[in-house]
Amino acid sequence: MEHTVKQLKEYLSNHDIKPSTIRLKILEYLLNNRIHPTADDIYKNLLDQIPTLSKTSVYNTLDLFADKGVVKVLSLNEKEARYDINTRFHGHFKCHVCGRVYDFSISYDISTPQELKGFDINDIDINFYGICQNCKNQGRRI
């Protein structure tokens, strides 16, 4: 889906973020590539468009986006964080073979486990791991 510069600027402004060329390009990349990319993925894909781009700029922008609620940071048992532009409540499935991360819907009415009654819960992450249907159908294994 194509987004105009005006729409991207408005999106950032609505999240109390001052638009810059790098921020706009990273936001556009995230909106157009809902693949849960790493900072390195984003850096590599935008370097041709922004030759002066640094990995530090990408990390700083992603940290700002996370602080302002534009992205959700996913760890998924990896050394490197992934970034999800979809901040609505949903779960993730990570394929151990191809590494792809899939989104899936979750009902909001998850009951609090008895062991956590009285706790203040700020966030919930639901992640599944295994082999995706595509890899399974191709006979690919870990």
CA distance 59 to 54: 9
The mean pLDDT of 61-74, rounded to a whole number, is: 97
CA distance 7 to 3: 6
Q: Is 43 annotated as a binding residue?
A: no
Is 108 a residue whose pLDDT tops 80?
A: no
Q: Is 98 annotated as a binding residue?
A: yes
Q: Is 132 annotated as a binding residue?
A: yes
State the greatest distance between any 2 C-alpha atoms of the chain, in Å, as a whole number: 53
Specify the pTM: 0.89
| CB count in 10 Å sphere of residue 9 | 17
CA distance 43 to 36: 14
Q: Is 41 annotated as a binding residue?
A: no
Looking at the structure, give the CATH architecture of the domain made up of residues 5-74. Answer: Orthogonal Bundle (1.10)
CATH 1.10.10.10 residue ranges of the chain are 5-74
| CB count in 10 Å sphere of residue 125 | 10
pLDDT in the model for residue 67: 98
Looking at the structure, give the CATH architecture of the domain made up of residues 88-137. Answer: 2-Layer Sandwich (3.30)
- Asked if residue 65 lies in contact with residue 28, where contact means CB atoms within 8 angstroms, the answer is no
The mean pLDDT of 91-105, rounded to a whole number, is: 95
What's the pLDDT band for 141 if we cut at 50, 70, 90? confident
- Asked if residue 26 lies in contact with residue 58, where contact means CB atoms within 8 angstroms, the answer is yes
- List Cα–Cα distances, 47 to 41, 42, 55, 83, in angstroms: 10, 8, 10, 18
Tell me the pLDDT tens digit for each residue of 1-21. 789 999 999 999 999 999 999
